[in-house]
Amino acid sequence: MIAVPNQGCSANVLPLIRTLLAIVLLRKGPEDIPRSAVLLLMCLGLWLLAELTSLALIDRVDDSDFLNEIFSLLLAVIFYSAVVVVAGHGQRVLQTITTIIGCGALLALSFTAIFVFFGQFVGATVLELIVYLYLMWSVSVEGHIIARAIDRHWYIGILIALAAFALQFFTFIVTTSTP
């Protein structure tokens, strides 16, 4: 169970974080997250915290990157929602989007921590490798989530997650390129 009534905040949030972590490690799926608008708001808050932390701690990140992340999240939400609805599982949209946002927030927080702490000790090449590994894992996690949400094999989920990544990447290129 995710939320325990009449308990402190940590009693309600820690099970959510544990469940999201288990999903990031591919041990659970979006079906383990209750269908709740409150949980979606909590995950959005966690995502916002992760993005603001990245903005504050990583020198290479600026305000335009933050706006691009918001736009990218919106694209992902629309894309994944459409996939889930078209697959005939419209009742799973809230859980799926909550899970994708929450897991994305955990991944972003861990990436920021790794980048800040290890960035001082390793060179640019190693940091680039870390970025690529992070991107590959985040696509794997999103693929795992979407595959479980639409009851398809994991490779179908990976293909859908790669399509979402390509959509976000090309949109980023188009919106940030100078004419």
Categorize the per-residue pLDDT at 43 as very low, low, confident or very high, splitting at 50, 70 and 90: very high
- pLDDT at residue 124 in the model: 76
Contact, 13 vs 42, CB < 8 A? yes
How crowded is the C-beta side of 95, counted as CA atoms within 13 Å?
22
- pLDDT at residue 123 in the model: 78
pLDDT > 90? residue 60:
no
Contact, 85 vs 93, CB < 8 A? yes
pTM: 0.87
Where are the domains positioned within the chain? 9-176
- pLDDT at residue 2 in the model: 52
The number of residues making up the chain comes to 179
Per-residue pLDDT of 66-110, as tens digits, reads 888 899 999 999 999 999 999 999 999 999 999 999 999 999 999
- pLDDT at residue 122 in the model: 81
